[in-house]
Structure formats: structure tokens, C-alpha cells
């Protein structure tokens, strides 16, 4: 049969396309490499755009891996989750290093094109907010930022109501026979997790009996890795912003460095840090 008469729904068409597919087609490079649209004539705006686009791609991968890890933990497939969480940590190192590249932008250079950004701000990164949701930090005001975009708002709302990775880990503790208070297991997961004594005692049991609870011990350390790297990312973000704009307000009216310093005090998995003092 001549190829032009083949039913386009048949798998042979896909196979034929795969055999003839180029590197650029597979990666959709036309779309990716045509997306750096400078709004000024300043040379360094290209750096600014690419750094943020690359970071968003890495965040997409982080979300993909976190979602997979949560599902794996819920199904007691902890070894599968470990691989995904290790990948998250490695990906986080790439985002952190991106700040080193962006910090080559001087205050004078940034001021040459900053007005072109209008109200656009990194604080509007919905993927970063979804990462916070997946780690258990949920604040309702975030949803209001995206109310005008109904599709995006719905995506965020669904993520907001999903189980965080720490909630999944706590449930895994309970399934392993380590007592967790019922109120914690049945808590409203749309609220930011604030800590619980029974959870702290459960993690102490794990850390004091690593041979018996090795998988849970490894899970805990993987979570600590992720929070550690996230805080390092936040710190590098804060210092890069301070280096480039000082204590000016950010684009979009954000408080800039002041806000970034404040969030450094937030802990996603408080008991995993608290028990280190008690061990």
C-alpha cells in the first residue's frame, strides 16, 4: 500500500515517523529555541530569559519525580521512590548552579531592561508553588494569584488538595506498625503541616532502630536531602536578588529580598530536623 493511503491512526504511521524523526523534531527544538523573545535590545536580557526557562524545565522534572515518588510510597514501593527522590536532589543542584550564572548580571545591566518585564515576577512561577504543595507547604493566597487563568487555577487547585510527600511518608510509618495519632493520619492535607509529637516519636523509633526500619530510615534521609537542597536554592535565590537589585521591591510588587529571607525559616519536615538534637 502506498504510504499516502495509510490510515493515520495505524501504528505503522507512528513507526514510519519514528524512523524518519530527527533530533530536533523529537525535542521540539523549533518551539523551544524560538521562545526567547527579548522585549528590549539589551544583550543581557537573553541570559535572564534562558536562566528562568531552564529552571522551569528542571522544575517540571522535579514535579514529575515527586508525583511518582508519592505514588510509590503510597504503594509501599520505597525502593522505587528512592530512585525518584535521588533524581530530585540531583536536579535541585542544577537549579542552584543556575543562580551562579545569573549572578554574572550586574545591577547596571539589569536596570537597562528591567522595566520591560512589566508585572512579570518569579514569584508568579506556578510550578514552584506546586513543588511547595508537593512538599506540604500550602497557603490559600497562592491560588488567588492565578484566578484569572481558569485552566491554571484548576491545575493548582488539584495540586493543592493532593497528598504531600511528607503526608505519604507519615502514612508509611503507620503502615509499618509505628504509632501515629489518628488526628495526623486524618488531617486536612490542604493545611500546611505544622508538626506533631507522635510523628517525632515515630521518626525517633526509626533512627534508633535502623536495622529494623532501614527503608523508612533511607526515606527520611532522602527527604532531608530534598529540603536541604531546597533551602540552599532559596538562599542562593535571595543572595542573587540582593546582589542585583539590593532591597528594592521586586517586579510585580513583591517584597523581594525581605520575603526571600523570611521563607528561609520555614521547615517542610520539622520532625526530621528536631530529632537530630535528641538522638
Long-range contacts of 150-158 (CB under 8 A, 24+ apart): 152/126, 155/126, 155/130, 156/126, 156/129, 156/130
Residue 214 parent element (H or E): helix 214-245
- The per-residue pLDDT for range 55-64, each reduced to its tens digit, is 999 999 999 9
Q: How confident is the model at residue 262 (pLDDT cuts 50, 70, 90)?
A: confident
User: Is domain 44-278 given the CATH code 2.60.40.1180 in the classification?
Assistant: no
Mean pLDDT across 74-86: 98
Please report the pLDDT score of residue 3 as a whole number: 41
| Residue 12 or residue 265, greater confidence | 265
Mean pLDDT across 7-32: 72
Mean pLDDT across 77-98: 97
Please report the pLDDT score of residue 28 as a whole number: 96
pTM for this predicted structure? 0.88
Which residue in 229, 226, 169 sits closest to 196, CA to CA?
A: 169
**What is d(CA 71, CA 46) in angstroms, rounded to the nearest whole number?**
38
Give yes or no for residue 247 having a pLDDT over 80.
Answer: no
First to last CA, the chain: 73
- The per-residue pLDDT for range 117-159, each reduced to its tens digit, is 866 666 688 999 999 999 999 988 889 888 889 999 999 999 9
- The per-residue pLDDT for range 37-56, each reduced to its tens digit, is 999 999 999 999 999 999 99
Give yes or no for residue 204 having a pLDDT over 60.
Answer: yes
Domain ranges of the chain: 1-33, 44-278
- Beta-carbon neighbour count of residue 19 at 10 Å? 7
Q: And the C-alpha cell for 166?
A: 511528607
Please report the pLDDT score of residue 121 as a whole number: 67
Amino acid at each position: 500500500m502506498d504510504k499516502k493511503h495509510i490510515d493515520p491512526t495505524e501504528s505503522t504511521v507512528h513507526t514510519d515517523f519514528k524512523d524518519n524523526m530527527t533530533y530536533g523534531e523529537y525535542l521540539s527544538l523549533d518551539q523551544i529555541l524560538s521562545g526567547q523573545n527579548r522585549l528590549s535590545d539589551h544583550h543581557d536580557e537573553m541570559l535572564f530569559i534562558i536562566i528562568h526557562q531552564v529552571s522551569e524545565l528542571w522544575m517540571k522534572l522535579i514535579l514529575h519525580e515527586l508525583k511518582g515518588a508519592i505514588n510509590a510510597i503510597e504503594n509501599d514501593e520505597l525502593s522505587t521512590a528512592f530512585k525518584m527522590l535521588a533524581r530530585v536532589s540531583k536536579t535541585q543542584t542544577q537549579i542552584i548552579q543556575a543562580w551562579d550564572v545569573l549572578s554574572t548580571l550586574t545591577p547596571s545591566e539589569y536596570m537597562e531592561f528591567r522595566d520591560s518585564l512589566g508585572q512579570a515576577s518569579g514569584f508568579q512561577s506556578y510550578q514552584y508553588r506546586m513543588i511547595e504543595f508537593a512538599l506540604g507547604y500550602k497557603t490559600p493566597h497562592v491560588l488567588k494569584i492565578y484566578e484569572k487563568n481558569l485552566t491554571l487555577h484548576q491545575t493548582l487547585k488539584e495540586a493543592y488538595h493532593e497528598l504531600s510527600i511528607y503526608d505519604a511518608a507519615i502514612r508509611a510509618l503507620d503502615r509499618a506498625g509505628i504509632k501515629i495519632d489518628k488526628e495526623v493520619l486524618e488531617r486536612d492535607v490542604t493545611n500546611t503541616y505544622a508538626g506533631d509529637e507522635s510523628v517525632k516519636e515515630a521518626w525517633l523509633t526509626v533512627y534508633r532502630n535502623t536495622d529494623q526500619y532501614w527503608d523508612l530510615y533511607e526515606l527520611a534521609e532522602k527527604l532531608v536531602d530534598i529540603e536541604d537542597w531546597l533551602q540552599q536554592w532559596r538562599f542562593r535565590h535571595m543572595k542573587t536578588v540582593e546582589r542585583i537589585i539590593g532591597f528594592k521591591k521586586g517586579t510585580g510588587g513583591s517584597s523581594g529580598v525581605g520575603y526571600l529571607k523570611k521563607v528561609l525559616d520555614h521547615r517542610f519536615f520539622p520532625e526530621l530536623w528536631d530529632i537530630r538534637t535528641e538522638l
